[in-house]
Amino acid sequence: MIAGKNVLAFVMAGGEGSRLHPLTADRCKPSVPFNGKHRIVDFVLSNLVNSEIYSIYLLVQYKSQSLIEHVRQSWTMTRFIPHHFVTVVPPQMLNGRQWFQGTADAVYQNLHLMESFQPDLVAVFGADHIYRMDVRQMIQFHVRNQADVTVATLPVPVAQSSSFGIANVDDRQRIREFVEKPPIARSMPGKPGYALASMGNYIFSAEVLLRELRRAHETGESDFGRHILPRMVKSHRLMAYDFHDNVIPGVHPYEEHGYWRDVGTIDAYFEAHFDTLGARPRFRMTNRYWPIYASPDQAESAQIEDGTIHHSTIGSGSIINGGRLDHAMLRRSVHVEEGAVLEHCIVMERSVIGRGARVRRAIIDQDNHIPPGETIGYDLERDRQRFHVSEGGIVVVPKCAFPAVTSSARLQDRELAMVG
């Protein structure tokens, strides 16, 4: 119970993540790895659990198997405590043979879960962002203002407004207009050049949500941002919660206040990783008062045989054997061989960076064995012929693009090295 209210959460984890391709070639966006041992979905789930919201339905759709396996292994709640669960829910197709048509339709197709749980409030949150948030403070704001819907918001430059739902509010933070991804938005009062953007996180009074979803289904409305919220502004009390008012314990003064990133593109995803690096990062992953939970880690500790390492993160089970790392983020069980160079790189599980290989400004997805002497990120025209290169010049090497060499080939390499 929060503020005397029984809360149920729906997490919208069905995102295809086409702008993150090829990282989403065979996994959905919330399942994409982040930092040393997390996945993107871990942030919203950690925020909910840390906020004492333990009843969570994760609505999935596209390429969801890796996400299902991650939740099964990492987010199992005890069966001895009633109403404590994180449950993955694919489209049930109870009302016809169709996938989720939008965020509102996804919740509508699971109204039976809400009716069975009988909550007072329903949290509908996205699964695609990097941030910390105490949802209890947003709920208290919702209750205090007697809102029907509360939308979490934060200022963004007007030039970026076409990527967000934009709320226009009065001096009491009541939403008077809501427009989904307008080409041009009005500036906020007192903050020229900035518009108030929705974070895609909502608190609904349960009775209102039930009624509005049924109405939306009858009229063919399928999305909260495009359809339901703009219509409800005229008949209901919608409030904008200022995310910058949210206070998280354990955050250091040097961290960026109100850190929130939509990692929906390769460039944004890449840059967010490096916001977590260093002794004074913009966003510190370790916070014992508000942890971001990760999958169980049974791997042994990382081993550093030799090499030069600057401003980098090395995952468990990794071996550094004489390479040079500068702003490198290695997930689990990565092997960096002698003479290899990694500069501003993300390298995912079970990858090998071969002897003398050079990689910069690149994302190496899991299970890649970069050949000895290979170069990636030094000739973007050549890289574009082989891989995806983002607008910002980040090279993305998809899973298994360089398959593991056979044991006989490895033996031949060793023999050649000994001769040399």
Residue 173 belongs to a domain:
yes
Q: What is the mean pLDDT of residues 253-274?
A: 96
Residue 366 belongs to a domain:
yes
Beta-bridge partners for 198: 153
Q: What is the mean pLDDT of residues 16-26?
A: 89
Residue 312's CATH number: 2.160.10.10
- 225, 134: one domain: yes
- 212, 310: one domain: no
- 203, 311: one domain: no
- 233, 321: one domain: no
- 308, 258: one domain: no
State pLDDT tens for residues 288-313: 999 999 877 777 889 999 999 999 99
CA distance 363 to 29: 15
CA distance 335 to 305: 11
State pLDDT tens for residues 49-72: 999 999 999 999 888 899 999 998
Residue 278 belongs to a domain:
no
Q: Give residue 412's pLDDT.
A: 43
- 324, 249: one domain: no
Q: Give residue 418's pLDDT.
A: 32
Beta-bridge partners for 320: 304, 336
Using 50, 70 and 90 to split pLDDT, how confident is the model at 97?
A: low
Give residue 343's domain range: 303-419
Choice among 159-163, 164-168, 347-351 with the minimum mean pLDDT: 159-163
Choice among 73-82, 251-260, 261-270 with the minimum mean pLDDT: 73-82
Residue 293 belongs to a domain:
no
Residue 102 belongs to a domain:
yes
Residue 296 belongs to a domain:
no
Does the pTM surpass 0.85? The reply is yes
Choice among 83-97, 116-130, 326-340, 368-382 with the minimum mean pLDDT: 83-97
Residue 276 belongs to a domain:
no
Q: Give residue 299's pLDDT.
A: 76
Q: Give residue 61's pLDDT.
A: 84
- 222, 329: one domain: no
| pLDDT at residue 408 greater than cutoff 50 | no
Domain end point (choices 232, 262, 292): 262
Total domains in the chain come to 2
State pLDDT tens for residues 360-379: 999 999 999 999 999 999 99
Using 50, 70 and 90 to split pLDDT, how confident is the model at 81?
A: low
- 332, 242: one domain: no
- 144, 223: one domain: yes
State pLDDT tens for residues 205-244: 999 999 999 999 999 888 999 999 999 999 999 999 999 9
- 250, 320: one domain: no
Residue 255's CATH number: 3.90.550.10
- 334, 232: one domain: no
- 349, 224: one domain: no
Domain end point (choices 241, 262, 283): 262
